[in-house]
């Protein structure tokens, strides 16, 4: 029972945050000004007038680039904590990270050889 009481302040904070969020959204709908016009309803793109609808199909060539970004960006999730405790890990931690980087390098070279970074043609 005492363990549950330790989490009581966290639960109370979560309830208060949820109440604040719901109250803010509801009150902004009631209190906020409602004078829409075509300028306010149009999408904003750095001051450029939109030429097409936002519902058109997006070229598939962007998706492999996005996937490659995610794959090679997720490695940072593992490298930052490793760098924080680098001195405590010693040689074995260093060797494990070198192996991890080599695996990523092999994947990078594979994608480079297959033309994954070439914008116009894809061999996937």
Q: Report the pLDDT value the prediction gives residue 16, as an integer from 0 to 100.
A: 98
Q: Report the pLDDT value the prediction gives residue 46, as an integer from 0 to 100.
A: 67
Q: Report the pLDDT value the prediction gives residue 122, as an integer from 0 to 100.
A: 52
> Domains of the chain by range and CATH?
2-114 (1.20.58)
pLDDT digits (tens, 9 = 90+) for 33-50: 788 787 777 666 666 666
SS3 content of the chain, % helix, strand, coil (to 5): 70, 0, 30
Ranges under pLDDT 50 in the chain: none
Altogether, the residues listed in the chain come to a count of 124
Residues contacting residue 42 through CB under 8 Å, at least 6 positions apart: 49, 50
Q: What is the largest CA-CA distance in the chain?
A: 65
Q: Report the pLDDT value the prediction gives residue 112, as an integer from 0 to 100.
A: 84
Alpha helices in the chain (DSSP H): 2-6, 8-31, 38-41, 62-84, 86-114
């Amino acid at each position: 029972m005492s363990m549950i009481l330790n989490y009581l302040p966290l639960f109370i904070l979560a309830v208060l945050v949820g109440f604040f969020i719901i109250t803010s959204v509801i009150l902004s709908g009631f209190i906020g000004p409602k004078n829409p016009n075509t300028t306010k309803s149009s999408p904003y793109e750095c001051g450029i007038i939109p030429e097409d609808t936002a519902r058109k199909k997006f070229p598939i060539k962007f998706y492999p680039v996005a996937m490659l970004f995610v794959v090679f960006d997720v490695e940072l999730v593992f490298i930052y904590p490793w760098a924080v405790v680098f001195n405590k890990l010693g040689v074995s931690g260093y060797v494990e990270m070198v192996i991890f980087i080599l695996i990523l390098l092999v994947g990078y070279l594979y994608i480079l050889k297959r033309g994954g970074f070439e914008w116009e043609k894809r061999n996937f």
